[in-house]
Structures are given as C-alpha cells and as structure tokens.
Structure 1
Amino acid sequence: MSKFILNFPSSGGFLLIDELITLPEFSQHNFNLNEVIESVLADDLLRFSVRGSKVRLKPPELNVSGVRDERL
C-alpha cells in the first residue's frame, strides 16, 4: 500500500470534487470522480469530508496521515 500527501492550495479548506481529481496526486493515478467520492466517504484514515460537490479538509491537527491508494 502506498501513501501520498495532498498539498492543497489556499482555498479556505474547500475544493470542488472536480478540482480535487485534477490535482497531480489523483490525476497521475487516473482516479475518477466516483473513486474519489467513495474513498473519501469510506476510509476512516482520510481527513476529508464531503458536502455536496465540495470536499473539505478537516482541521490541520487531524490532517496528518495523507491519502491511501490501495490500488497500487
């Protein structure tokens, strides 16, 4: 299992899901929209929450473990 860290631009902690999947950390692995949503909602180690069409970073003290990519 590999891990990678997301480096979010200054966005007030919110990104549209469509923006999220264009980040190199996702696009280099060819993640699609449904895979991102399912991962965010299903993985307890992820430090994001989904609200409508936006993904929100949880507080920095919780956002330390990065994102897991179990497909690699």
Structure 2
Amino acid sequence: MIRHSLYSEYVMARQQIAIDGLTLFVELELDQHEGVNYDLTPSNPLLSKFTQTEIDLFEEIFKRDTTAMFG
C-alpha cells in the first residue's frame, strides 16, 4: 500500500516537470516534435526523494488516473 501523501507529492512534482518541459518546448518553437520527454528519474531534483521503483509505480498510477479523467 502506498502512502497517499507520498503519491500526492509525486503528482505535484510530476506536474511541475510537465510544466517545465512544455515551457521549454514552447520557448524553443520546434517545428517537428513527437512529445516532450520528461526526466522521471531520481536525478531530477524534483524527484530526488523517490526511488526509481517508486517513480515507476507512481507513473503507472498517474497514467491510469490521467486516462480515467481525460480518456
């Protein structure tokens, strides 16, 4: 069982990573882009408190939740 507060912290960090990645994408104004690649590893300062196993688990839950909300 995962701690709800830990998952909440992951979601907040994940959202900030997405915002940073999209901001960079817009600033670079790339003509061809197949998606923003996020650094979802413990080396990312926003995710440094998580292990790679936790990140993988939380990312799976995050994708499932996002799909449930937005289809």
With the shorter chain as reference, the TM-score category is 0.3 to 0.5
Q: What is the TM-score when the length of structure 1 is the normalising length?
A: 0.33
Greater share of residues in strand: 1
Higher RCO structure, 1 or 2 (CA under 8 Å, sep 6+): 1
Q: What is the TM-score when the length of structure 2 is the normalising length?
A: 0.33
Greater share of residues in helix: 2
